[in-house]
Chains A and B, each alone.
Chain A
Amino acid sequence: MNSTTQLSRPLLYSLTLITALVVAPHFQRLNAVIILAFLAVLGLRWGTLYFSGWKPGKLVLFTITLMAAILIFTTYPLLMGLEAKVALLSLMLGLKLMECRSQRDLIVVLFLGYFTLITHFLFDQEMLLVGYVFIMVITLTALLVEASRTSPSEGWHFKSLRYSGAMIVQAIPIMLLLFFLFPRISGPLWNLGVDNSTGRTGLSDSITPGDISNLIRSRAVAFRVDFDETAPPPQQRYWRGPVLWNTDGYRWTRTRYLQTEPVSYRSDAPPISYQVTLEPSPNDWLYALDLPETLPSEATLLPDFQIKAKNIRNRRHRYAVTSRLSYHTGSLNERERGLGLQLPDNITPRMRDLVRQWRSQNTSDLALVNQSLRYFRSEPYYYTLTPPLLGNNPVDQFLFDSRRGFCEHYATSFTSLMRIAGIPARVVTGYQGGELNPLGNYLIVRQSDAHAWSEVWLEESGWTRVDPTAAVAPERIEQTFDFDLEENSILGIPVIFSTGNSGLLKDLTHQFRLGIDAANASWHRWVLGYSKEQQQKLMQQLGLGNLNAMKLAIAMILAIAVMILLLLYLLRLRSEVKPDPVLKDYLTFCRRLSGKGIQRFPHEGPDDYSHRIIRKRPDLRQSVNAITQHYIRLRYGQSDSPQLRRTFHRLVRQFRA
Chain B
Amino acid sequence: MKELLDQVIKEAGRIIVGKEQTLRLALTCLLANGHLLIEDLPGVGKTTLAHTLAKLLGLQYQRIQFTSDLLPADIIGVSVYHRGEESFQFHKGPVFTQLLLADEINRATPKAQSALLEAMEERQVTADGKTRSLPQPFFVIATQNPAHQIGTFPLPESQLDRFLMRLHIGYPDEQAERILLSGEDPRHLLKQMQPCLTIQQLQNLQQQASKLHIADALLDYIQDLLKFSRQSPRFNHGLSPRAGLALINSARAWALQAGHKQVLPEDVQAVLAATVGHRLHSSGDTGIDEGPVLAQHLLQSVPLP
Contact = CB atoms under 8 A, between A and B. Distances in A.
Interface string B93-109: 00000000000000000
Interface stretch (B147-155, B179-187, B210-218, B279-287): B210-218
Contacts of B264: 605-607, 632, 636
Given A635-B215, A635-B217, A603 B262 contact: no
Interface stretch (B62-70, B197-205, B297-305): B297-305
Given A583-B305, A607-B264, A638 B217 contact: no
Interface in B235-294: 261-266, 269
A602 B218 contact: no
Nearest to A632: B264
A636 B269 contact: no
A261 interface: no
A603 B299 contact: yes
Interface in A29-88: none
A602 B263 contact: no
Given A605-B269, A607-B264, A636 B215 contact: yes
Residue among A583, A601, A632, A638 with the most chain B CB within 10 A?
A632
B270 to A, nearest CB: 9
A638 B303 contact: no
Residue among A601, A606, A637, A638 with the most chain B CB within 10 A?
A637
A638 B300 CA distance: 27
A636 B217 contact: yes
A635 B300 CA distance: 21
A1 B299 CA distance: 46
Given A603-B299, A605-B269, A636 B262 contact: yes
B262 A638 contact: yes
Interface residues of B, number: 18
Nearest to B268: A605
Contacts of B305: 583
A633 B262 CA distance: 8
SS of B interface (majority): mixed
Contacts of B217: 583, 635-636
A158 to B, nearest CB: 32
B303 A603 contact: yes
Interface in A568-606: 583, 601-606
A608 interface: yes
A633 B301 CA distance: 25
B59 to A, nearest CB: 32
A1 B250 CA distance: 49
A606 B262 CA distance: 13
Nearest to B214: A636
Contact of A637 (B261, B299, B301, B303): B261
B304 A603 contact: yes
A179 B108 CA distance: 83
A98 B302 CA distance: 61
Contacts of A637: 213, 215, 261-262
Contacts of A602: 300, 303-304
A633 B217 CA distance: 12
B229 to A, nearest CB: 14
A375 to B, nearest CB: 97
A604 B213 CA distance: 20
Contacts of A633: 262
Nearest to B255: A636
B266 A605 contact: yes
Nearest to B220: A577
Given A603-B269, A605-B269, A636 B304 contact: no
Given A635-B217, A636-B217, A638-B213, A608 B266 contact: yes
Contacts of B301: 603
B303 A636 contact: no
Interface string B191-232: 000000000000000000000010101100000000000000
Residue among B213, B265, B300, B302 with the most chain A CB within 10 A?
B265
B304 A632 contact: no
Interface string A603-617: 111111000000000
Contacts of B215: 635-638
Residue among A583, A605, A637 with the most chain B CB within 10 A?
A605
B96 to A, nearest CB: 41
A523 to B, nearest CB: 50
Nearest to B263: A636
A636 B261 CA distance: 9
B78 to A, nearest CB: 51
A636 B302 contact: no
A605 B305 CA distance: 9
A577 to B, nearest CB: 8
6 contacts: A605-B265, A606-B266, A636-B218, A636-B262, A636-B263, A638-B213
Given A605-B265, A637-B215, 13 more contacts: A601-B300, A603-B302, A603-B303, A605-B264, A605-B266, A605-B269, A605-B304, A608-B269, A632-B262, A632-B264, A637-B213, A637-B262, A638-B213
